[in-house]
């Protein structure tokens, strides 16, 4: 029976703006959970540093305000640096985390969380213009993790051969 449900779930490509838009819709539909975690006011760029021969790197900016995601869009490198901070990683790093979230039913393995992956600056790098901007990442980390954890609600497909 669960196999049927799995087949009926939406499949979205990563990296793609539609994937991040789906996360935003899920976040906005679950306001009660966001209120438990607290408000989140920042703009974040999720960057994929490899994995797409035609457009590298790819940057997806998400603007959060209070308890919702207001805007999602793909941006160029010049616009990406205007965000409060950027989370940069290879496609393989993002894929391992997203697959761990799926296997865990919305909870990644402890070594596949945003906090763990960014702790030493590798394999996920936190890039910010100044310490106050990077502090926003730590302040809102749990909300950001919940944002990405929502990917368990749909299937994610990755570029073939990567």
Q: Domain holding 34: CATH number?
A: 3.30.1050.10
Residue 123 lies inside a defined structural domain of this protein: yes
User: Domains in the chain: how many in total?
Assistant: 1
Pairs from 19-22 (Cβ < 8 Å, separation ≥ 24): 19/151, 19/156, 20/46, 20/60, 20/62, 20/72, 21/72, 22/150, 22/151, 22/153, 22/154
Is residue 22 over pLDDT 90?
yes
Q: Which two tokens stand for residue 45?
A: 């760029």
Q: Higher model confidence: residue 119 or residue 160?
A: 119
- pLDDT, residue 160, reads 80
Residue 56 lies inside a defined structural domain of this protein: yes
Residue 158 lies inside a defined structural domain of this protein: no
Burial of residue 37 (CB within 10 Å: 0-12, 13-18, 19+) is middle
Average pLDDT over residues 110-135: 96
Residue 161 lies inside a defined structural domain of this protein: no
Residue 92 lies inside a defined structural domain of this protein: yes
Structural domain for 14, as ranges: 2-153
Is residue 1 over pLDDT 50?
no
The mean of the pLDDT values for the chain is 93
> What is residue 15's three-state secondary structure?
coil
Q: Which residues have CB under 8 Å from 15's CB, separation 6+?
A: 46, 48, 51, 52, 58, 60, 91, 94
47-101 per-position pLDDT tens digit: 999 866 666 799 999 999 999 999 999 999 999 999 999 999 999 999 999 999 9
Residue 31 lies inside a defined structural domain of this protein: yes
- pLDDT, residue 51, reads 66
Beta-carbon count within 10 A of 38 CB: 12
Residue 145 lies inside a defined structural domain of this protein: yes
The pLDDT confidence band at residue 128, using thresholds 50, 70 and 90, is very high
- pLDDT, residue 8, reads 80
Residue 162 lies inside a defined structural domain of this protein: no
Query: Sign of torsion, CA 55 65 140 12?
Result: negative
The pLDDT confidence band at residue 162, using thresholds 50, 70 and 90, is very low
């Amino acid at each position: 029976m669960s196999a049927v449900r799995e087949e009926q779930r939406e499949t979205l490509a990563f990296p793609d703006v539609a994937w991040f838009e789906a996360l935003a819709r899920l976040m906005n539909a679950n306001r009660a959970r966001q209120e438990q975690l607290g408000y989140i006011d920042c703009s974040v760029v999720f960057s994929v540093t490899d994995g797409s021969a035609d457009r590298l790197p790819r940057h997806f900016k998400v603007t959060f305000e209070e308890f919702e995601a207001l805007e999602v869009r793909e941006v160029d490198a010049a616009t990406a640096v205007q965000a409060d901070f950027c989370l940069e990683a290879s496609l393989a790093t993002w894929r391992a985390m997203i697959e761990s979230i799926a296997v865990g039913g919305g909870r990644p393995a402890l070594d596949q969380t945003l906090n763990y992956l960014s702790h030493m600056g590798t394999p996920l790098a936190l890039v910010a213009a100044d310490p106050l901007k990077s502090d926003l990442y730590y302040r809102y980390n749990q909300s950001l993790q919940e944002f990405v954890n929502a990917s368990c609600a749909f299937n994610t497909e990755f570029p073939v051969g990567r």
